[in-house]
A and B are shown apart, each in its own frame.
Chain A
C-alpha cells in the first residue's frame, strides 16, 4: 500500500545543534515530495519541494532535504537549529501520475532546548 512514514514522533535538539528529520515513502514510482512546517495554531507552510533533478533541494529558513531513490527517503536537515524552529514537521507525497491526492505523514514534533 502507498504510504508515508515519519518514524520519529518527537525529537528534542539543543539550539545550535544539527537536525535531521526522517521521511520514507512507499510508492511504485518516484513521487513529488514536500516538507511542510506547522507552528502551534498556524497553518501549514511549505518548506521545500522535490520534483526532479538535483536530489539536494534547498528550502526556506535554512532547511534542505535530500532525495535518495535507493532508500525511498526524503530527509529534512538543518545544520544549526534555532529556537524558532520548534514546530510540527510534515512530510507529504504526491504521486507523479494518476489522481491520488497529497498524502501526509503523521508528523514529527520538534522541540528546541537552550
Chain B
C-alpha cells in the first residue's frame, strides 16, 4: 500500500537555526498537510496545501513557518529561526482528490531544539 514518507526521522537543531522537514506524499494525492504534536499533547493542525498554494492555516503557522512543493514529489516545511517551543513531532499527511478524503500520515519527524 502506498504511504507517506518523512525525512529525517529525528532532527536536532540549535535554537535560532533554520530547519527543513521533508515529506513525500502519496503520489496521486492532491491535498497535503502538516501537523504538530508536542510531547504528551494532542495533534494540532498547522497548514494545508492544495493546487500549489496554502488553502488553510492555523494560528500556530506564523511567519516563521513556510511550506513548499519544490517539485512533483516533495512537500517541505521550513521553520526559520527555531525556538525551544518548536520541539515536537511533525507529521505530514496527504489525501486524495477532495478535502473529505481520509488523510494518510507519515511516521513523523521528531524535532529537538537545543
Residues of A within 8 A of B (CB): 32, 34, 36, 41-46, 49, 51, 90, 92, 94, 96, 99-107
Contact = CB atoms under 8 A, between A and B. Distances in A.
Interface residues of B, number: 23
B42 A90 contact: yes
Contact of B43 (A44, A46, A100): A44
A101 B105 contact: no
Given A94-B100, A101-B33, A104-B42, A43 B56 contact: no
A94 B93 CA distance: 14
A101 B107 contact: no
The 7 closest A-B pairs by CB, nearest first: A43-B107, A44-B105, A104-B43, A106-B42, A101-B45, A43-B105, A43-B108
Contacts of B33: 101-102
Given A43-B4, A94-B100, 16 more contacts: A43-B91, A43-B105, A44-B93, A49-B102, A51-B100, A90-B43, A94-B99, A100-B56, A101-B45, A101-B48, A101-B56, A105-B42, A106-B41, A106-B42, A107-B42, A107-B43
B13 interface: no
B104 interface: yes
Contacts of A101: 33, 45, 48, 56, 58
B106 interface: yes
Given A44-B91, A106-B41, A99 B100 contact: no
Interface string B23-59: 0000000000100000001111100100000011010
Nearest to B10: A41
